[in-house]
Amino acid sequence: MSVPVLTIDGPSGAGKGTVSRAIARKLGWHYLDSGSIYRSLAIAAIAAGADLSDEAVVAEVAKAMVLEFECADELTVKLDGKDITGQLGLESTGNAASVVAALPEVRKVLLQKQKDFRKPPGLVADGRDMGTVVFPDAQNKVFLTASAGERAMRRYKQLKEKGIDANLSSITQEIEERDLRDQQRKAAPLMQADDAVFIDSSDMSIETDIEQIVNLI
């Protein structure tokens, strides 16, 4: 019998990370944050002094890197045993990640890297193409979303709580533009798997989301 997988796909800001980590903790399963994969590789490639446009070299770095995701309340990402969580959100990391993500051989290596997270007793995989591309045979699939307005409000509140000045209308616009980019990209676009359960969390608490998904399993 194959190792069970729960995929939770959906747009940015829908609460996938928080919900996925809580469910992984509850079930005692492994956790994959696919959104950090390319950023982690960018950090590894820069640390190795690699030319980010050299497909063969970056692919070798991708094969060699060892990633761990620790799903406490906040995600901790370790690259070769070193905590790189603080570097993931940097703009320079994001720019480098978009360069390496365009390399076909690198995408192939990282696809296998993601599949390798499937280990007993089970895996919760969070992303945009987990149920459609990476684990199409997953027994349990969820597409978790919320309205752009609700996702923008959540982001706005997060920033305010951190003392960061924010503009709600510009956040809403950014989210709508990102959704469009994710849906229209050629490689692994954001879409709901045919056999995924659709959950709109706009008017639901995180606790309700978690309970509903655990009940599915």
Mean pLDDT over 91-118 rounds to 90
Residues 137 and 116 in one domain: no
pLDDT at residue 185 greater than cutoff 80? no
Does 101 lie in the same domain as 48?
yes
Mean pLDDT of 163-174: 88
Task: Find the domain containing 166 and state its range.
Answer: 1-29+122-217
pLDDT-based confidence at 130, cuts 50/70/90?
A: very high
Asked if 12 and 116 sit in the same domain, the reply is no
Half-sphere exposure (CA, 13 Å, Cβ side) for 105?
Answer: 12
Higher pLDDT, 74 or 174: 174
Structural domains counted in the chain: 2
> Of 74, 96, 120, which closes a domain?
120
pLDDT(196) > 80: yes
Q: What is the arithmetic mean of pLDDT over 181-206? A: 85
Shared domain for 114 and 37, answered yes or no, is yes
Q: What is the pLDDT of residue 128?
A: 87
Residues 6+ apart with CB under 8 A from 100: 38, 41, 42, 45, 52, 58, 106
67-71 and 75-79 as β-strands: parallel, antiparallel, unpaired? antiparallel
- 126 and 209 assigned to the same domain: yes
Query: Are 6 and 73 members of one domain?
Result: no
Give percent of the chain with pLDDT exceeding 70. 99
Residues 132 and 25 in one domain: yes
pLDDT the model gives residue 44:
96
Closest-CA residue to 134 (of 152, 149, 155, 118): 118
Average pLDDT, whole number, for the chain? 90
pLDDT of residue 154: 86
CATH number at residue 198: 3.40.50.300
Compute the distance between CA of residue 29 and CA of residue 162 in angstroms, rounded to an integer: 31
How are beta strands 197-200 and 140-145 bridged, if at all?
Answer: parallel
Q: Are residues 172 and 194 in the same domain?
A: yes
pTM of the model: 0.86
Same domain, 212 and 164: yes
What pLDDT does 1 receive? 61
End position of a domain, from candidates 96, 120, 144: 120
Examine the fold and report which residue of 120, 139, 174 is the final residue of a domain before the chain moves on: 120
